[in-house]
Structure 1
Amino acid sequence: MAPTSYDQQAVDISWGWQVISSIIGWIYFLAWSISFYPQAILNYRRKSVQGLSMDFLYYNVLGFTCYSIFNVAFFASKEIQEEYKERNNGSANLVRINDVVFALHALAISSFTLSQTFYYKRSSNQRSSLPARGLIWLSILGAFLVVLAVKSGNALWIDLMYYLSYIKLGVTIIKYLPQVWINFRRQSTVGWSIHNILLDFTGGFLSVAQLLLDAYLSGDWSGVSGDPVKFGLGFVSIFFDLLFMTQHYILYRDRTDYYLNTVDEERRRLIAEGRVPRDDEDYV
């Protein structure tokens, strides 16, 4: 039977929303991807990473390693896709190619930013904390144990993927806390790029919007519950981005950066000679 004009109109509307969803996906991909560059560029311009949390950088690398494995597996592994369908009433997962590209790109740039801490200036006490190192090694140990469970037949590979996604979600929840504390202690956001935050906020908002729109169009909200990491990441990012914007634009408005101000060459010389207070030692 030929489709009625009403049916055709519904198809056209649905197709139009799918195009909008795809556009939203690529915009959030670009916003989130570009958001990693301002911090790396700022570090390069200052030739210093003072003011930047080391814990944040290590958490970022761990989180995006897990997130990359999760997205690549969900997008490319037939075995993972079938296991997902078995657990979600035959529904396909909502991981898109832009999710995969974003995760791999984020891992690369996060690793590069971490590498900057090894050759740019930092304070003598600026290092990763013991709790952060402990959490990272515990996460790796947990992944190893899940792999053993899969090999022994007590779990499926999708269980490992979910474990990695929960590490990413957990890392995202806590990774900003050290930077929030550093900004509070120093009463300054110098060394921490606000452009990173503005772009991250845009990406987080659009990521949640795309996921909800896709679930609505498919009439299957299990896509939201089946991909909790993407849903949770968006809301957590939005919360912390708003907090950082409050710190930067409202609470700590004096953002003089001596490392970018060429007029202060004399001040730097005096600091080196110990003739003026070295307030940049608080940039941990």
Structure 2
Amino acid sequence: MEGDYTRRKMNSWTLLFAIFFYFRCGQCDIILTDDHELNLKLNEVSKFSINASSFLSNISNTEIQLIVQHSDIIRLDPTILNITEGIHDINVTALGAGHSEVYANASDPAFQKHVKDLFLIVTVYKQDWLIPFSVVIGWIYFVAWSISFYPQIYINWKRKSVVGLNFDFIILNIVGFTLYGIFNLGLFFIPEIQNEYSDRHPRGMNPVKVNDIVFAVHAAIATLITIVQCFIYEREEQRVSTTARTILGIFGGFLTISIILAGVKVIHWLDYLYYCSYVKLTITLIKYIPQAYMNYKRKSTVGWSIGNIFLDFTGGALSMLQMIVDAYNYDDWVSIFGDPTKFGLGLFSVVFDIFFIVQHYILYRHSNYAEN
């Protein structure tokens, strides 16, 4: 009996030790001591550090190899590490402007899980002063776009009339900014969607920033104020056109089906947010057309704020300038020519703004439509 008791006691201790060792080993990851991002100037030499757990020596004598995505952008020294306890310093030399990832492979496949979080995104730039310059440009166009709604609100209030303001443009705007807000809020605040994004882009950073949320919510509120003005001020026979209603009906049907599919888990909620963003991009492409056509029919821009256009033009032009500055500084022209969506939308908006300016100051500058 005493021998059985002793064996049972030893077996219990063995089981507890095995469980303890299992969970401690599950925490034996090799990690960076700093952030997963490193910014360097061209030809600069810096370093990052790797922290190896004290339990690693009990598991394996495995080596890890650091893999550089673009060897023409950065060079590492050393690139092969023996797994030993403590801090390991890695020197980084910036060879060329651009973005490059560093990740790790273990010589023992069973050890790969311990280096899954060992990655670094290195950005190499050409000129120091272009970084704050780009930031300043970004804030200027953010402010310009944010306040671009108020000249129209003011002119509506001053005239006590919305005659000349196209209702299709307004309704497309509120739908577009609402969808943009849904995309930003979902990706920024909902953990389930954030986890899905991380699964798809393991080394990617959340693309939504606080200023994106502020702009989207503010734009939707300002557009809503304009819609309220359309109900309380003189509007003659203006209304939302059948064409705009049809387009919005198609968008609504598409998004309704998408949200049902997301609800029954046929698609992910992240996919639904992407669909919202695609609809928003489409709206941005077409929303200026009704107002331009209305000005042409009336041979007048009375009731349509030119201040809104100048601010929108400023925001769009500076947005493209920032993209060009960043593309030069980081030698990342692919961001413009390889994926032209953002740049193309900015250019499209600027072209329409120029067209509106021509209508206002050249084609219809002598118009007295309001008096008629």
**TM-score interval w.r.t. the shorter chain?**
0.7 to 0.9
Structure with greater proportional strand content: 2
Which of 287, 295, 299 in structure 2 is aligned with 1:187?
299
1:270 — aligned with what?
none
Q: Is residue 255 of structure 2 the alignment partner of residue 143 of structure 1?
A: yes
8 A Cα contact 2:170 2:223, kept in partner: yes
Matched, 1:205 2:317: yes
Structure 1 gap segments, 5+ residues each: 260-278, 280-284
Against the structure 1 CA distance between its residues 87 and 220, is the aligned structure 2 distance closer, same or farther, given a 3 Å change threshold?
farther
Question: Could you say which residue in structure 2 is the equivalent of 1:74?
Answer: 187
Query: In the alignment, is the contact (CA less than 8 A) between 1:169 and 1:232 conserved in 2?
Result: no
Cα shift at 1:157: 1.7
CA distance in 1: counterparts of 2:338 and 2:185, whole angstroms: 16
Identity of aligned residues (%): 46
Amino acid at match of 2:297: R
Q: What do residues 22-75 of structure 1 show as CA deviations (whole Å, max 9, x unaligned)?
A: 222211110001110000100001011111111111111111101111122333
- The answer for the alignment partner of 2:281 in structure 1 is 169
Deviations 1:143-183 (A, max 9, x none): 12111222233212221111111111111221111111111
Q: Which residue of structure 1 aligns with residue 144 of structure 2?
A: 31
What is the Cα deviation at residue 216 of structure 1?
6.3
Partner residue, 2:37: none
1:158 partnered with 2:270: yes
Give the match's secondary structure for 2:267. coil
In the other structure, the counterpart of 2:234 is: 121
Secondary structure of the residue aligned to 2:231 is: coil
Q: What's the counterpart of residue 359 of structure 2?
A: 247
For 1:7, which of 24, 39, 44 is the aligned residue?
44
1:78-119 per-residue CA deviation (whole Å, 9 max, x = no partner) reads 444444455457332543322221111110000100110111
5+ long unaligned stretches in structure 2: 1-39, 47-93, 95-123
For residues 218-275 of structure 1, give each alpha carbon's deviation from its aligned partner in whole angstroms, at most 9, with x where no partner exists. 677787799976444322211211111111122111144757xxxxxxxxxxxxxxxx
**Cα distance in 1 for residues equivalent to 2:316 and 2:338:** 18
For each residue in 1:179-225, what CA deviation from the matched residue of structure 2 results, as whole angstroms up to 9, or x when unmatched?
A: 11111011111110111001001111222333455566667778779
Q: Please give the secondary structure, in 1, of the residue aligned with 2:162.
A: coil
AA at the equivalent of 1:148: I
Work out whether residues 93 and 227 of structure 1, in 8 Å CA contact, stay in contact via their aligned partners in 2: no
Change (3 A) 1:48 1:216: same
**Larger displacement relative to structure 2 (76-85 or 125-134):** 76-85
Stretch moving more, 97-106 or 231-240: 231-240
Contact 1:27 1:203 in 2 (8 A): yes
In terms of mean alpha carbon deviation, does 211-220 or 30-39 score higher?
211-220
CA–CA distance in structure 2, aligned partners of residues 129 and 5 of structure 1: 55
Q: How does 1:39-118 map to 2 (within 5 A)?
A: 39-88=152-201, 90-118=203-231
Equivalent-residue separation in structure 2 for 1:133 and 1:32 (angstroms): 26
What's the TM-score, normalizing by structure 1? 0.78
Give the aligned residue type for 1:45.
K
Q: Distance between the aligned counterparts of 1:137 and 1:210, measured in 2? A: 36
Structure number with higher relative contact order (C-alpha < 8 Å, ≥ 6 residues apart): 1
Inter-partner Cα distance in structure 2 for 1:38 and 1:78: 38
What residue in structure 2 maps to residue 274 of structure 1? none
Partners of 1:81 and 1:225 in 2: how far apart?
Answer: 28
Compared CA separation, residues 52 and 12, structure 1 to 2 (3 A): closer
SS at match of 2:163: coil
Larger radius of gyration: 2
Q: TM-score, normalised by structure 2?
A: 0.61
Letter aligned with residue 33 of structure 1: S
**2:284–2:345 CA contact under 8 A, matched in 1:** yes
Please give the alpha-carbon distance, in whole angstroms, between the structure 2 residues aligned to 1:58 and 1:204: 21
Partner AA of 2:352 in structure 1: F
Aligned length: 257
Bigger share in helix: 1
Is the 1:81–1:92 contact (alpha carbons within 8 Å) kept by the matching residues of 2?
no
